[in-house]
Amino acid sequence: MTELVFRDDAYARSCAARVVAADEKGIRLDRTVFYPTGGGQPGDTGTLRVASGETIAIVDTIKGEDPDDVVHVPTPGAPLPPPGTEVTAEIDWERRYRLMRMHTCLHLLCAAVPGAVTGGQVSDGRGRLDFDVPGSSLDKAAIAAQLNALIAAGHEVTPRWITDDQLEARPELVRTMSVKPPVGAGRVRLMEIAGLDMPIDLQPCGGTHIRNTAEIGRIKINKIESKGRQNRRVIVAFDE
Check residue 184 and report its DSSP letter: S
Nearer to Zn ion, 71 or 117 (CB): 117
Return the residue nearest Zn ion (CB atom). Answer: 205
The strand ranges marked E within 51-204 are: 55-63, 70-74, 86-91, 117-123, 126-132, 157-163, 187-193, 201-204
Which residue, 35 or 56, has its beta carbon nearer to Zn ion?
35
Of 4-12, 42-50, 181-189, 197-205, which segment contacts Zn ion by CB under 5 A? 197-205
| In the complex, least distance from residue 150 CB atom to Zn ion, rounded to whole angstroms | 15
Query: What minimum distance in Å lies between the beta carbon of 107 and Zn ion?
Result: 6
Classify the C-alpha dihedral 157-162-166-171 as positive or negative: positive
Q: Which region, judged by CB under 5 A, interacts with Zn ion, from 26-34, 57-65, 149-157, 204-212? A: 204-212
Which amino acid type is present at position 75? T
Question: How far is Cα 177 from Cα 212, in angstroms, rounded to an integer?
Answer: 26
Q: Which of 22, 207, 210, 216 binds Zn ion (CB under 5 A)?
A: 207
Work out how close the CB of 110 gets to Zn ion at its nearest, in angstroms, rounded to a whole number.
9
* CB-based burial label for 46 (10 Å; 0-12, 13-18, 19+): buried
Residue number, 74 or 207, with CB nearest to Zn ion: 207
Sites for Zn ion among residues 136-195 (CB under 5 A)? 191
Could you give the string, one character per residue 75-104, with x where binding to Zn ion holds by CB under 5 A and - elsewhere? ------------------------------
Q: Which of 112, 205, 216, 234 binds Zn ion (CB under 5 A)?
A: 205
> By C-alpha distance, which of 133, 112, 145, 116 is closest to 232?
133
Pick 81 or 204: Cβ nearer Zn ion? 204
Residue 100 or 143 having the CB closest to Zn ion: 100
- Residue 88: count other Cβ atoms within 10 Å of its Cβ: 15
CA dist., res. 37 & res. 161, Å (int) = 21
Residue 177 identity: M
What is the smallest separation between the CB atom of 84 and Zn ion, expressed in angstroms? 35
**Size of residue set near Zn ion by CB under 5 A:** 3
Q: How close are the terminal C-alpha atoms of the chain, in Å?
A: 40
Question: Contact residues for Zn ion (CB under 5 A)?
Answer: 191, 205, 207
